[in-house]
Amino acid sequence: MSTGVDRIDDPWGDRTPYGRDSEWPVRIDTFLRDGVRPETVDTWSQAASILHSDGDAMDIAVVDGQIAGVRGRAVDRVNRGRLGPKDLYGWQANASPDRLTSPLVRRDGHLVPCDWDTAMDTLVSRSRDLLKTRGPDAIGLYTSGQLFLEEYYTLAVIGRAGLGTNHLDGNTRLCTATAAEALKESFGCDGQPGTYADFDHADVIALFGHNLAETQPVQWMRILDRLDGAQPPSLICVDPRPTPVARRARVHLAPRLGTNMALLNALLHEIIRTDRVDHPFIDTRTVGFENLVAQVRSCTPRWAAGICDVPAARIEEAAELIGTTDRLMSTVLQGVYQSHQATAAAVQVNNLHLIRGMIGRPGAGVLQMNGQPTAQNTRECGANGDLPGFRNWQNPAHVADLASVWNVTPSAIPHDAPPTHAMKMFRLAEEGTIRMLWISGTNPAVSLPDLSRIRSLLTQERLFVVVQDLYLTETAHLADLVLPAATWGEKTGTFTNADRTVHLSDKAVEPPGQARADLDIFLDYAARMNFRDKDDEPLITWRDPESAFEAWKKCSKGRPCDYTGLTYTALRGGSGLQWPVDEQSPQGTERLYGDRFSWSAPGQCESYGKDLTTGEPYDEAAYRALATDGRAIIRPAPYLPPDETPTAAYPFQLTSGRTIYHFHTRTKTGRAPQLNSAAPDVWVEMADTDATRLELGEGDLVEVRTPRGALHGRLRITALRPGVLFVPFHYGYWDTPGLSGPRAGRPGRAANETTPTRWDPASKQPLFKTTVATVSLVERSPSSPPAQGAP
Ligand SMILES: Nc1nc2c(c(=O)[nH]1)N[C@H]1C(S)=C(S)[C@@H](COP(=O)(O)OP(=O)(O)OC[C@H]3O[C@@H](n4cnc5c(=O)[nH]c(N)nc54)[C@H](O)[C@@H]3O)O[C@H]1N2
Ligand SMILES: Nc1nc2c(c(=O)[nH]1)N[C@H]1C(S)=C(S)[C@@H](COP(=O)(O)OP(=O)(O)OC[C@H]3O[C@@H](n4cnc5c(=O)[nH]c(N)nc54)[C@H](O)[C@@H]3O)O[C@H]1N2
Ligand SMILES: [Mo]
């Protein structure tokens, strides 16, 4: 018998109710494998979860040199001991028998094992060749939101100053590029204004396209505890599906897909019409209010009701709640970031807070959420299509400053064009400009849109594909060179969650076989490439996680994400700490922007902003004309209809997303028995009225077809918006990943067989959440029920 709690049937566990403004009680969740009890654990090794952006702190139990379970850390500000389903069970994937244990190189069409020297020589000679014959633009680096800070920083130095390529981005482009862009548009700079502690103080919590209950279950436990305590908050949920969040909401708005912008403009209209705005705040701390007033003047709830198909009275009700509370907290995630007008809509949520003066104090804050565990670090370190330390590529002083940190000339850092975004990198690889693509910690053969295109692009003869992963994933399967990586629990590093909390995650056990930490692979590559600074000294001077962290601290100094006051020692033993951590705030910073919007000044800002509709970047002169100094920017935008609207051939709108039990392409959660059996296969959600009309029943196997492709899945009838279909995007073409091999000759089941290559003009984030589709019956239901969603 294993020891611990059940987070499959009872994902959120027992309630520990608490009242407004009091401290969230501790509840310690533990799960240990069969035969292990807390007193038989050899050591507990400090870590935090890397299966979402929450940063749930935990200790890893080690028995006989193996991971034997996990226990939540009571001392940590983020979770106070609690763990969600993936936190509790996901670690089992580390010990899966099909871990990659040696590098693989493609010979005569087959991937065959080789030693590290052979693998690295192959990588280095290909890199050198391309640099000589085609220049740095022939090399692209596509990384992750799941490595550690030290690894991204090293990769950013390699890419930007070593190779000198502008083609470095993360899968964070698919994930939180819109969060970053929305923060830059409103506040001049990336950096989360709010904090999870605001959940303890808020009276109204509005969740925009965010199924927090399933995707950050531990913060949902916090909200559930507040709902059961004194002075509970009211929830507003904007989601077309009856998610667990929607079921607990005071107001649930279920708009047509792709119409967030109309809804938000109507909320802004109502708040301005009823004059529930904070005039002193607007006057002293913002610019651009009059543009917003003009933009939303005609955006009445009745107007929006026609577009969103939501009753006008419900929009008014939501506006009343938002307009009358003194403590408003909002969260935004993929139902906005991956939907039509992503950045424009995310920015309107910031605007709601700015016009109501709801920022920088307890219970009043906005969280432009992250999704991936370490996405924040991809962004900070400049491994995401930005310069490290939130520096502005258009500002020569920022480039010079970075060049001095690295002791290179400014011209060694490409900055004559915006850093290449991932969607463009894949296009450049498709057309033959990029000839080597080094993919680390991501599985684009499942996660990118329009998979048939991605497969053919990755298998081109002229493109050398390197994949650094734990398993032979769908993507690794197509690679020319596969590098086996160590992961969480097997390597040390730091990472930062969605509310700027930095955690240390220590190495608890040895990685399998010859697998190596990503940091060691990058450092080995840098040494073999012999990258030099301007004094002909080694460009990269660090050799392990802690010295990499120290190097990063220098790069972060004086920037919003200032880590200079942090050390590994400070991060051991207690709670994670929120950046900036510097001389003024050695214990970290709970909220940004309590007094001024200090990063919006033209000389400080990370970006001069973009036109939200066209994505056209503004220049310095245009930004200076805003006179932002110390003030936030209110940027309005008009609603525009989605590019695709249902037709007779494609009468449905199709969206995709997540279940509580799986993480992304399931490389880890598919290998954890409890999680895999909770949701073993793809399904298709449809409204009961649609199912009745089409004479389809629960469990029927259906085909969902879009202009790009098709997938098969079993039908699940729910109370989601009529006319909408929902498919979880976790399922690629491995059955149980790796263990039973490819689904050769069988129809697709990945959501991305059906999604279009289209992105938001400002953030360049792909629009996974709005396409059109048709449905047909493949086979009537056998007796077995379909896969589970959330209970
Ligand atoms: N269990 C689990 N947790 C995770 C992850 C995981 O894979 N599994 N991944 C992590 C990562 S990387 C991310 S990015 C986050 C994502 O976390 P979320 O954004 O919460 O997850 P999604 O399910 O992608 O999308 C949220 C909701 O958007 C709704 N939606 C779809 N289209 C629209 C629209 O047009 N308008 C509105 N308003 N809503 C819409 C969907 O119905 C869905 O419920 O989760 C993180 N946490
Ligand atoms: N249709 C649709 N598509 C989507 C989305 C959607 O909602 N709908 N959501 C998008 C979003 S928000 C995201 S974040 C992406 C996620 O998409 P991906 O990033 O492609 O998904 P993962 O399965 O997390 O891939 C991470 C890979 O890194 C490997 N890995 C884990 N730890 C380590 C490590 O320490 N080192 C190395 N080298 N490798 C490691 C894992 O085995 C896995 O293969 O998908 C996007 N795609
Ligand atoms: Mo994500």
**Ligand 2 atom closest to the CA of 657, numbered from 1:** 7
The residue contributing the CA closest to ligand 2 atom 4 is 447
Any idea which ligand is nearest the CA of 239?
1
447 CB under 6 A from ligand 2? yes
For ligand 1, which residues put their CB under 6 angstroms from it? Answer: 52-53, 86, 175, 208-211, 214-215, 238-241, 243, 255, 257-258, 260, 333-335, 339, 371-372, 655, 657-658, 660, 662-664, 726, 769-770
State which of 146, 333, 370 you would mutate to test the pocket of ligand 1, scoring each by most atoms of that ligand within 8 A of its C-beta: 333
Which band of pLDDT confidence, cut at 50, 70 and 90, is reported for residue 788?
low
Q: Which fold has domain 652-779?
A: Barwin-like endoglucanases (2.40.40)
471 lines ligand 2 (CB under 6 A): yes
Contact of 221 with 81, CB cutoff 8 Å? no
Q: Which atom of ligand 1 is nearest to the CA of 340?
A: 35
The continuous run of DSSP H or E covering 149 comes out as: helix 149-157
Residue 171, pLDDT score: 98
Residue 550's alpha-carbon distances to 98, 512, 553, 568, 691, in angstroms, are: 35, 28, 5, 9, 58
Mutational test site, ligand 1, from 658, 665, 731, max ligand atoms within 8 Å of CB: 658
Which protein residue's CA is at the shortest distance from atom 29 of ligand 2?
441
Instruction: Look at residue 294 and give its three-state secondary structure.
Output: helix
The region, left, alpha or beta by phi > 0 then psi within -120 to 50, assigned to residue 70 is beta
Please identify, by atom number, the ligand 2 atom nearest to the C-alpha of residue 444: 20
Residues 406 and 552: their CA atoms lie apart, in Å, by: 11
Q: What is the mean pLDDT of residues 689-698?
A: 97
Q: Rounded to an integer, what distance in angstroms lies between the CA atom of residue 553 and that of residue 295?
A: 43
Separation between Cα atoms, residue 219 and residue 679, nearest integer Å: 22
What secondary structure, in 3-state letters, does 48-69 show? ECCCCCCCCEEEEEEECCEEEE
- The closest residue, in CA terms, to atom 28 on ligand 1 is 335
Pairing of strands 701-705, 771-779: antiparallel
Per-residue tokens: 251: 């107001």
Helix (H, G, I), strand (E, B) or coil at 716: strand
| Cα–ligand 1 centroid distance for 337 (angstroms) | 9
689's enclosing H/E stretch is helix 688-693
- pLDDT for 515-560, tens place per residue? 999 999 999 999 999 999 999 999 999 999 999 999 999 999 999 9
Q: Is the CB of residue 500 below 6 angstroms from any atom belonging to ligand 2? A: no
For the CA of 372, the closest atom of ligand 2 is 14
Longest Cα–Cα distance in the chain = 74
For ligand 2, atom 46: residue with the closest CA: 447
Q: How many Å lie between the centroid of ligand 1 and the Cα of residue 638?
A: 24
pLDDT (0 to 100) of residue 739: 41
Please, what is the end-to-end C-alpha distance for the chain in angstroms?
Answer: 24
Closest residue by Cα to atom 13, ligand 1, is 371
Asked if 340 and 643 count as a contact pair (C-beta separation under 8 A), the reply is yes
- CATH architecture of the domain 104-173+374-556 equals 3-Layer(aba) Sandwich (3.40)
pLDDT tens-digit readout, 47-76: 999 999 999 999 999 999 999 999 999 999
The answer to whether 605 touches 623, Cβ cutoff 8 Å, is yes
In this predicted model, what pLDDT tens digit does every residue of 472-524 receive, in sequence order?
999 999 999 999 999 999 999 999 999 999 999 999 999 999 999 999 999 99
Separation between Cα atoms, residue 399 and residue 383, nearest integer Å:
15
Q: How confident is residue 782, by pLDDT bands cut at 50, 70 and 90?
A: confident
Which residue from 142, 146, 455, 465 has its CB within 8 A of the most atoms of ligand 2, so it is best to mutate?
146
Give the Cβ contact number of residue 327 at 10 Å. 19
Q: Residue 736: pLDDT above 60?
A: no
Is the entire prediction scored with pTM above 0.95? yes
* Residue of minimum CA distance from atom 32 in ligand 2: 487
**287 contact partners, CB below 8 Å, separation of at least 6:** 626, 627, 628, 631, 632, 633, 634
**Sign, CA torsion 122/128/130/136:** positive
Find the 177 Cα to ligand 2 centroid distance in Å.
15
Distance, in Å, from the CA atom of 298 to the CA atom of 262, rounded to the nearest integer, reads 11
User: What digits encode the pLDDT tens for the residues 34-53?
Assistant: 999 999 999 999 999 999 99
- By CB atoms closer than 10 A (0-12, 13-18, 19+), residue 515 is buried
- What CATH class has 177-369? alpha beta
Pocket test for ligand 1, best of 769, 771, 772 (most atoms within 8 A of CB): 769
Pick the residue whose CA is nearest to atom 26 on ligand 2.
442
Is-contact 378 172, C-beta < 8 A? yes
Rounded Cα distance between 368 and 360, Å, is 14
pLDDT of residue 598: 93
Cα separation of 212 and 205, whole Å?
A: 12
User: What mean pLDDT comes out for the span 79-98?
Assistant: 97
C-beta 655 within 6 A of ligand 2: no
Q: CA–CA separation, 391 vs 395, rounded Å?
A: 8
Select from 215, 341, 654 the residue to mutate for testing ligand 1; criterion: most ligand atoms less than 8 Å from CB. Answer: 215
Pairing of strands 251-253, 234-238: parallel
- Residue 150's H or E segment, with its range, is helix 149-157
Per-residue pLDDT at 416 exceeds 60: yes
Are 69 and 48 within 8 A, CB to CB?
no
Nearest to 419 by CA among 381, 450, 370, 363: 381
Q: How many helices (H) and strands (E) does the chain have?
A: 25, 28
| Model confidence pLDDT, tens digit, residues 582-606 | 999 999 999 999 999 999 999 999 9
Preceding amide of 580 cis, omega within 30: yes
Task: State whether the beta carbon of 197 lies less than 6 angstroms from ligand 2.
Answer: no
Q: What is the CA radius of gyration of the chain?
A: 25
Please tell me the distance from the alpha carbon of residue 289 to that of residue 701, in angstroms, as a whole number: 52
> Which amino acid residue places its CA nearest to atom 1 of ligand 1?
660
Cα(547) to centroid(ligand 1), Å: 36
**Atom 33 (ligand 1): residue with closest C-alpha?**
335
Q: How far apart are CA 527 and CA 72, in angstroms?
A: 39
> 């870590």: which residue's tokens?
47
Q: What protein residues have CB closer than 5 angstroms to ion ligand 3?
A: 175, 371-372
Cα distances (angstroms) measured from residue 741 to each of 90, 456, 728: 21, 20, 21
**Is pLDDT at 753 greater than 80 in this prediction?**
yes
Atom of ligand 2 nearest to the CA of 471: 42
Helix/strand/coil for 775? strand
Nearest ligand to the C-alpha atom of residue 206: 1
pLDDT per residue over 604-651, tens digit each?
999 999 999 999 999 999 999 999 989 999 999 999 999 899 999 999
752 pocket-lining for ligand 2 (C-beta < 6 Å): yes
- Decide if pLDDT at 773 tops 90: yes
Burial of 98 from C-beta contacts in 10 A (0-12 / 13-18 / 19+): middle
Cβ proximity of 704 and 726 under 8 Å: no
Per-residue pLDDT tens digits for 345-371: 999 999 999 999 999 999 999 999 999
- The percentage of the chain sitting over the pLDDT mark of 90, rounded to a whole number, equals 95
Q: Which of 214, 220, 334 to mutate to test the pocket of ligand 1 (most atoms within 8 A of CB)?
A: 334
Looking at 274-410, list the stretches that DSSP marks H as alpha helix, in order from N- to C-terminal side: 279-285, 289-296, 301-308, 312-324, 334-337, 342-356, 375-380, 396-406
- How would you classify the pairing of strands 204-208 and 328-332? parallel
pLDDT at 744 over 80: no
CA of 209 to the centre of ligand 3 (A): 13
Å from CA of 752 to ligand 2 middle: 13
Distance between Cα 333 and ligand 1 center (Å): 6
175/191 Cα distance (integer angstroms):
16
In the chain, where the domains are located:
1-95, 104-173+374-556, 177-369, 652-779
- Residue in 132, 164, 140 with CA at minimum distance from that of residue 403: 164
Average pLDDT, the chain: 96
Tell me how far the alpha carbon of residue 790 is from its chain's centroid: 21
Pairwise CA distance, residues 726 & 257, whole Å: 11
Task: Look at residue 114 in the predicted model and tell me its pLDDT.
Answer: 98
pLDDT tens-digit map of 155-174: 999 999 999 999 999 999 99
Tokens standing for residue 710:
């098709």
* Residue 572 backbone dihedrals phi, psi, to 5 degrees: -90, 135
Atom of ligand 2 at shortest range from CA of 491: 35
Please give the C-alpha separations between residue 35 and each of 30, 60, 601, 675, 779, in angstroms, as whole numbers: 14, 16, 59, 20, 44
Q: What is the pLDDT of residues 200-247, one digit of tens each?
A: 999 999 999 999 999 999 999 999 999 999 999 999 999 999 999 999
* Owner of token pair 């279909």: 725
